[in-house]
């Protein structure tokens, strides 16, 4: 008689219970080190949305399992610094990377694209048969980058200027933008708190009024106003690099905007920028600041720096000479390397780095 022909409902329940009891338990996830802001969910997973977020674990073995969800993201999986998988808008992923050499390994999942809404969810790296979990790999230095599309790496891998919204999304690789490039040179952990189109007091073209980068800066996800960061002491950057002003100044003021003239607008920008830095400084009193600016608004940034009365902790940096080869004349990958060089030189001049 075939199994189950007359087993009945009670029998199936008993059988299912026995099978469940016999099945090996799901192993606990590997200890994880997180770069960037995330929301810790009740089930132990992490929701993420800011650009440049990454997750890292270490283990000893020959394979590792990764679980995450990313409906609209491009996500790169690396082992020991070598790219093993590139996930393009993959949805739900539950995959095992095999064929690794015996020994210790670092596995890393990194977000490449910008998601101003939605984002993704990381469930963990999990050991497979024979794997041994090792402590997660934090670093001794931390750098925070705050900015707009330039800091995001907006369309930086594009080969042409004329890009649709989809093409901008698909050619953005924050991990190759100037912030991560600088951080890797110093073996530093990093955060990218940046949002394309946003400024200090004014967004591109005077749009999206009521929200600015300082307004969304405290959020653990840029589209989630309910979850704000609480200072638990894990994040103590030695350096904070801010590049905000391109969107404030790159387009003419409109008649219905709240400033009566250019002078009033510039004064409001300087006041809000200084207040933003002071607020961050109050929470990160030991951090150095590099305030970046192009020729269009660097004079304003210099006045901000002077008003802060923190000469040993604040410096300004002019960026220029870019080819603007990315989408919609944004910085290209070559520009990102140039910007990283400029920031690296500025760091070399800091007295307490």
pTM comes to: 0.91
Residue 2: pLDDT band (50, 70, 90) is: very low
Q: Give the mean model confidence (pLDDT) for residues 214-234.
A: 95
Catalytic residues: 149
Q: Give the model confidence (pLDDT) of 41-55 as tens digits.
A: 999 999 999 999 999
pLDDT of residue 75: 98
SS3 call for 60:
strand
Angle at 74 between CA 244 and CA 69, to 5 degrees: 110
* Contact yes or no for 330/149 (Cβ under 8 A): yes
Query: Where do the DSSP E strands lie in the chain?
Result: 33-35, 38-40, 46-48, 54-60, 64-70, 74-79, 82-88, 91-97, 104-111, 120-127, 132-134, 141-147, 188-194, 219-221, 224-228, 239-243, 288-293, 314-318
Residue 13: pLDDT band (50, 70, 90) is: very low
Closest residue by Cα to residue 180 from 230, 112, 231: 112
pLDDT of residue 352: 75
Q: Give the model confidence (pLDDT) of 250-309 as tens digits.
A: 999 999 999 999 999 999 999 999 999 999 999 999 999 999 999 999 999 999 999 998
Q: Above 60 in pLDDT, residue 76?
A: yes
User: Could you give the percent of the chain with pLDDT greater than 70?
Assistant: 93
* Contact yes or no for 37/191 (Cβ under 8 A): yes
Residue 245: pLDDT band (50, 70, 90) is: very high
**Domains present along the chain, CATH in parentheses:** 33-134 (2.60.120.260), 141-348 (3.40.50.1110)
* Contact yes or no for 172/69 (Cβ under 8 A): no
Any residues with CB less than 8 A from the CB of 106 and at least 6 apart, and which? 56, 57, 58, 79, 80, 81, 137
pLDDT of residue 27: 85
Residue 353: pLDDT band (50, 70, 90) is: confident
In terms of residues, how long is the chain? Answer: 353
How buried is residue 16: exposed, middle or buried, by Cβ count under 10 Å (0-12/13-18/19+)? exposed
Angle at 228 between CA 222 and CA 230, to 5 degrees: 135
Residue 9: pLDDT band (50, 70, 90) is: very low
Give the Cβ contact number of residue 44 at 10 Å.
11
Hey, which residues does 20 pair with through a beta bridge? none
Mean model confidence pLDDT for the chain? 92
Q: Above 80 in pLDDT, residue 77?
A: yes
pLDDT of residue 25: 62
């Amino acid at each position: 008689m075939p199994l189950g022909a007359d087993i009945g409902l009670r029998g199936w329940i008993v059988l299912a219970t026995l099978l469940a009891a016999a099945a090996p338990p799901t192993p606990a996830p590997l200890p994880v080190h997180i770069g960037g802001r995330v929301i810790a969910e009740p089930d132990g997973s992490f929701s993420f949305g800011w650009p440049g977020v990454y997750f890292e674990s270490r283990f000893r073995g020959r394979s590792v399992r990764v679980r995450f969800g990313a409906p609209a993201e491009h996500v790169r999986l690396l082992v020991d610094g070598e790219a093993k998988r590139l996930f393009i808008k993959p949805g739900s992923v539950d995959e095992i990377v095999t064929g690794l050499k015996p020994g210790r390994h670092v596995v890393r999942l990194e977000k490449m694209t910008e998601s101003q809404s939605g984002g993704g969810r990381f469930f963990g790296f999990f050991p497979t048969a024979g794997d041994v979990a090792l402590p997660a790999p934090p670093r001794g230095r931390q750098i925070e980058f705050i900015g707009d599309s330039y800091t995001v790496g907006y369309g930086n891998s594009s080969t042409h200027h004329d890009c649709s919204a989809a093409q901008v999304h698909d050619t953005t690789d924050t991990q190759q933008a100037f912030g991560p490039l600088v951080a890797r040179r110093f073996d530093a952990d990093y955060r990218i708190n940046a949002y394309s189109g946003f400024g200090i007091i004014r967004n591109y073209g005077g749009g999206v009024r009521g929200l600015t980068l300082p307004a969304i800066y405290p959020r653990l996800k840029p589209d989630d106003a309910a979850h704000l960061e609480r200072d638990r002491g894990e994040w103590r950057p030695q350096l904070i690099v801010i590049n905000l002003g391109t969107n404030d100044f790159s387009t003419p003021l409109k008649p219905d905007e709240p400033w009566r003239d250019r002078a009033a607008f510039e004064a409001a920008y300087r006041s809000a920028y200084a207040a933003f830095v002071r607020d961050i400084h109050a929470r990160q009193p030991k951090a150095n600041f590099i305030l970046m600016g192009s020729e269009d608004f660097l004079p304003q940034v210099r006045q901000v720096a002077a008003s802060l009365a923190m000469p040993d902790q604040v410096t300004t940096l002019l960026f220029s000479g870019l080819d603007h080869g990315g989408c919609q004349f944004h910085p290209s990958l070559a520009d990102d390397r140039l910007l990283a060089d400029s920031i690296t030189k500025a760091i070399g001049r800091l007295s307490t780095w």
